[in-house]
């Protein structure tokens, strides 16, 4: 009889992961402003600063077990040569370029995923700002209540999307939303099976309600719906990156190639260098495995990008637009009264 293949466990709505920071996430990229760039390119101290933080690097901590294993292997071969065979360096010279190609390809493809994710969030920033601006221009005068709900949904959306992509806990997301939405709205979003899509649907309902009441014309409704549609496209593209890793055969073959190559290297180094091969092997292992580890981390870009900072920037923009809109409107009313 044919047996049914075991089913994979269904994914959870949230992985209850901590908010990513440079202290708990390898290859984390913080948001930079001008003072950060000045420090980043300050060459005289840059090299010393980077070397001083090497022992506390999360990349270093992740590769430390395998580096320790290979270094111990080299030490055993160096101090007990009768237990090992001597290999020529020629096979390693012939295959080193293949190793370099594999690591370079892996790192480049992972960086491409990271950069695409960052561009998608750049588009999300622009669409959210445009949606907030046009919501204020179209609804602030005719329906302040709907305008306020629309702006709150824009702010809530970016935080919900960030939590969705970063696997943050329900308790964290609920705490964030309770500061920005009404309790009934928070419960509605938390019950949704797809929370970012649920917030976008609520935005669409706000726009539709404004059109049905005659508070915005059809052109404004189409404009606002277009921005919501753009946000849907960006969200879908982010989920495509999240749900689709690089082909697993590439990751597995790179790891296997690297382990076999590095595992055999001490048998060629020790006969030529003696005990000096131990620190040399440790340095080579750190450098090569660091490249592979960086590629593995950048492959999933959303916990490496400062999405919480970006969400806070969007929220600050929405609040600023509202204050500037009210201020400019008061100025214009005073100008009309004087005229």
The DSSP letter of residue 2 is P
CB-CB contact of 203 with 221 (8 Å): no
CB-CB contact of 45 with 322 (8 Å): no
How many Cα atoms within 13 Å fall on the side-chain side of residue 32?
A: 9
CA distances, 290 to each of 57, 59, 186, 191, 330 (Å): 10, 6, 42, 41, 58
| 279: pLDDT strictly greater than 90 | yes
**Percent of residues, the chain, with pLDDT higher than 90:** 68
pLDDT of residue 297: 93
Taking only the tens place, the pLDDT of each residue in 26-39 is 888 888 888 888 88
pLDDT of residue 5: 40
pLDDT of residue 316: 93
d(CA 124, CA 126): 5
pLDDT of residue 6: 43
* Pick from 9-23, 42-56, 301-315, 323-337: least confident: 9-23
**Residue position matching structure tokens 């055969």:** 249
Across 21-26, average pLDDT: 82
Q: Helix or strand or coil: residue 238?
A: helix
pLDDT of residue 109: 95
| 9: pLDDT strictly greater than 70 | no
Q: Which range in 53-62, 302-311, 324-333 is most confidently predicted, on average pLDDT? A: 302-311
Taking only the tens place, the pLDDT of each residue in 283-315 is 999 999 999 999 999 999 999 999 999 999 999
d(CA 131, CA 228): 8
Taking only the tens place, the pLDDT of each residue in 104-158 is 999 999 999 999 999 999 999 999 999 999 999 888 888 888 999 999 999 999 9
pLDDT of residue 337: 63
């Amino acid at each position: 009889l044919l047996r049914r293949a075991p089913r994979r466990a269904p994914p959870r709505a949230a992985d209850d992961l901590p908010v990513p920071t440079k202290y708990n996430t390898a290859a984390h990229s913080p948001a930079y402003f001008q003072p950060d760039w000045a420090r980043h390119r300050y060459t005289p101290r840059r090299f010393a600063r980077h070397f001083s933080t090497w022992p506390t690097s999360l990349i270093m901590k992740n590769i430390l077990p395998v580096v320790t294993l290979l270094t111990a292997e080299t030490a055993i071969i160096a101090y007990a040569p009768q237990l090992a065979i001597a290999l020529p360096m020629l096979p390693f010279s012939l295959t080193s370029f293949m190793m370099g190609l594999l690591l370079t390809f892996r790192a480049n493809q992972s960086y491409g995923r990271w950069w695409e994710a960052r561009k998608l969030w750049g588009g999300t920033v622009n669409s959210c700002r445009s949606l907030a601006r046009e919501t204020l221009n179209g609804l602030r005068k005719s329906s302040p209540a709907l305008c306020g709900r629309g702006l709150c949904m824009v702010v809530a959306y970016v935080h919900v999307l960030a939590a969705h992509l970063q696997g943050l806990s329900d308790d964290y997301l609920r705490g964030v939303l309770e500061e920005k939405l009404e309790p009934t709205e928070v419960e509605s979003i938390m019950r949704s099976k797809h929370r970012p899509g649920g917030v976008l649907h609520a935005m669409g309902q706000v726009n539709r309600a404004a059109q049905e009441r005659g508070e915005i014309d059809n052109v404004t409704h189409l404009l606002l719906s277009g921005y919501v549609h753009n946000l849907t496209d960006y969200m879908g593209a982010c989920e495509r990156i999240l749900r689709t890793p690089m082909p697993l055969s590439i990751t597995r073959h790179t790891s296997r190639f690297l382990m076999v190559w590095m595992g055999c290297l001490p048998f060629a180094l020790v006969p030529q260098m003696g005990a000096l091969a131990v620190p040399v092997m440790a340095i080579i292992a750190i450098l090569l495995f660091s490249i592979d580890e960086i590629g593995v981390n950048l492959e999933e870009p959303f916990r490496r990008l400062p999405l919480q900072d970006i969400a806070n920037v969007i929220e600050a923009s929405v609040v600023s637009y509202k204050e500037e809109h009210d201020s400019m409107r008061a100025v214009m009313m005073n100008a009309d009264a004087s005229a």
